[in-house]
Amino acid sequence: MVLSDRQLSVIRREPLVTTGVWRPDLSRREALLLGGGLVSTSLLSACGGGSGDRTDGGGAPQRGGTLTFAWNTPVYESLDPHKTQDPATYRYITPLYSKLLEIKTGPNVTGYQLTPDLAREWTVSKDGLTYTFHLRDDVVWHDLPPVNGRGFTSDDVVATFQRIMRLPGDNAWMFERVASVEAPDKYTVVVKLKKRYGPFLEYMAHPWNVIIPREGAEGRYDLGKQVIGTGPFVLKSWSREEEMTRVRNPRYFIKGRPYLDELNHVVLAEPAAVAAALRSGRVDMGVLDHRLAAELTRGGRHRTYSVLNYPQQLNLNTQRPPFDDLRVRRAVALAVDWDGVGKTIFGKYQLSSIVTPASGPYALPPDQIRKVRPYDPAQARRLLAEAGLGSGFGTEMIVQKLSPSDVQVAEYMAQDLKKVGINVTLRILDTATAVQRRLNGQFTMAKSMRGLIHYDIFLSDLEPDARLNVSRIKDPRLGEMIEASRDIVDDAKRAKAVQDIARYAEQNNSAAIYPLCTYQHYVHGAHVHDLYPSPEITGRYWADVWVSK
């Protein structure tokens, strides 16, 4: 369906009734303070805690039962966590793996907080160049060949990090400042850096950096098809286009967890199918837009938990005319009513500028975003005229379709761009094809959606030699600013530096645009309790989820 010029503005918007909302107001990240060998766990919650105060009236957790989660995309690539870039894959595999650190979740968590996972505590040297991780000594691998349930040790961490650093994948840049990774004893890992790296600890909780067994790093089994981890669930079976079945890990290192016997995912691409499956009880949980979520929640049999996630992304290929001209790129940014997009299509949203609102102090506040990127069609037309395109031009936009809203956003953009003389033809593509087209530079304009929210990942997209720099940005000044921000360990100073980068990129580059960040609405049956997803992809929160009989 192609919406007419004003149909989009009259779509009925209803308030979303939720049982909880993950808020983007973040506190200072105490885990990154460098203070004479500060032990980070003294500032963060201890490993293994439950979900605290209950907001759903579920009472005491019950063991047993199965939870089936409908997801809209299959695993397009492999299950290898260090090679894939597909966010959908991480949704499937993170409940099976663990990391050195994890992102804290729960009913009273208001932001991005680090908590121990495989590392029980860690220290940072005064100069910020040496990170020492003290590992848990009670962790075992899933009892699957060839690992066969042996104990987890520091040797596995070293092998994992060395594999990431030598692979030609997209994870290695996180370790570019790493000089060495050593294991002085069975349960200690020491990472030495060439230069200070402010976001380093946060990357230890990143889903791309799950820890695998040494046997996997050595190629003794196929990581693309088999998962052997230390997470709360064990892989039982999976079909690329249909489902994944996981069973409870009876030897999980957090005692008494997980509560569920099985955690399953099924692939249902269309929102209407997900809503029907929720109503019939075929699935216990699914992700829906705000209208369907409100509709199901209204009946009392379902609840909704909303998480700020999924920044909208627009890439303009700077190697293809006319987008090799900053004036034209800037005109595109100014010609679209991004607030209108958010209100009309999503109902619940936050403006964004490169760094998503969920990154708290690192993101530009909405009022500042509106100053550097106002909705100004008149200025857009003047810029096009200055670029010699006063009579307009035609172009194509490839659109990565994960949900109907992806197409609706592209249609809204095309209608606004047409008003300033830019006639856009939409080409709708599946996720895998769209990703490859962007990576290969086979596009002029590309509309997509991101599934990760850490601010430094977005900055890496703007670096000249980065594989995910799909706009082919070549801006030495921007690269220097990004590198300098990573040298800063103090959170407040780094936040200011990142905001300066956002302002500069908006006004002097405008090739990779992240205009707004939407909410992901997890709709689940009232029998599902203690479900507190994070905006970052993580798997350990599944250990706390339970279902009432």
How far apart are alpha carbons 152 and 157 in whole angstroms? 9
Is the predicted pLDDT of residue 219 greater than 60, yes or no?
Answer: yes
**Fold of the domain built from segment(s) 33-58+69-231+249-255:** Dipeptide-binding Protein; domain 1 (3.90.76)
pLDDT of amino acid 36: 31
Beta carbons of 165 and 197 less than 8 angstroms apart? no
N-term to C-term CA, the chain: 42
Q: Is 223 helix (H, G, I), strand (E, B) or coil?
A: coil
Shared fold status for 8-12+308-519 and 33-58+69-231+249-255? no
CATH of domain 8-12+308-519: 3.10.105.10
Residue matched to tokens 């857009």 = 380
Is the predicted pLDDT of residue 447 greater than 90, yes or no?
Answer: yes
How far apart are alpha carbons 453 and 244 in whole angstroms? 25
Question: Could you state, in order of their start, the residue ranges of all structural domains in the chain?
Answer: 8-12+308-519, 33-58+69-231+249-255
Q: Which helix (H) or strand (E) holds 135?
A: strand 130-135
Q: What percent of the chain has pLDDT over 90?
A: 63
Query: Mean pLDDT lowest for which of 36-45, 86-95, 271-280, 422-431?
Result: 36-45
Query: Mean pLDDT lowest for which of 4-8, 28-32, 357-361?
Result: 28-32
CA contacts within 13 A on the Cβ side of 364: 23
- The predicted model gives 202-215 an average pLDDT of 93
pLDDT in tens, 23-42: 333 332 222 222 233 333 22
pTM of the model: 0.80
Q: What percent of the chain has pLDDT over 70?
A: 88
Is the predicted pLDDT of residue 48 greater than 70, yes or no?
Answer: no
- The predicted model gives 2-25 an average pLDDT of 35
Closest among 443, 405, 408, 411 to 424, alpha carbons compared: 411
pLDDT of amino acid 170: 64
Residue matched to tokens 């439950």 = 50
How far apart are alpha carbons 230 and 153 in whole angstroms? 11
How far apart are alpha carbons 111 and 477 in whole angstroms? 31
pLDDT of amino acid 84: 78
- The predicted model gives 466-490 an average pLDDT of 90
pLDDT of amino acid 21: 40
pLDDT of amino acid 56: 54
Is the predicted pLDDT of residue 515 greater than 70, yes or no?
Answer: yes
Is the predicted pLDDT of residue 314 greater than 80, yes or no?
Answer: yes
Buried b or exposed e, range 58-96, using 16+ CB within 10 angstroms: beebeeebebbbbbbbbbbeebbbbbbbbbbbbbbbbbb
If you compute the radius of gyration of the chain from its CA atoms, what whole number of angstroms results? 23
Closest among 338, 310, 343 to 520, alpha carbons compared: 310
Confidence of residue 59 (pLDDT cuts 50, 70, 90): confident
Is the predicted pLDDT of residue 12 greater than 50, yes or no?
Answer: no
Is the predicted pLDDT of residue 222 greater than 70, yes or no?
Answer: yes
- The predicted model gives 168-196 an average pLDDT of 91
- The predicted model gives 274-287 an average pLDDT of 95
